[in-house]
Amino acid sequence: MAKTRQPPAVRAVMHEATEDLRAPRIMDRVATVGSIAPELTLPNEAGQPVSLAGLRARGPVVVSFYRGRW
């Protein structure tokens, strides 16, 4: 497990950051499976705009967000 390979100082920072996110009760506002998403258009991995409505017209949609460039 990755947690066990991380130095204690790194784990402490990550734990603190997680608690900072939980403090304002952000988890109470997180969408859950089956939630209806607002209409939106976002860039795909190639930077091209993709509308949620356009995707839903073709069937069920799963939206995944990632941070940064991998």
Distance, CA of 31 to CA of 37 (rounded, Å): 8
Q: Spell out where the chain has E strands.
A: 41-43, 49-51
CB 39 within 8 A of CB 52: yes
Please give the model's pTM, rounded to 2 decimal places: 0.45
CB 9 within 8 A of CB 2: no
User: Residue 31 has what pLDDT?
Assistant: 81
The amino acid at 5: R
Q: pLDDT by residue (tens digit) across 20-67?
A: 877 778 778 888 888 888 899 988 889 999 999 999 999 988 877 776
User: Residue 68 has what pLDDT?
Assistant: 66
CB 41 within 8 A of CB 51: yes
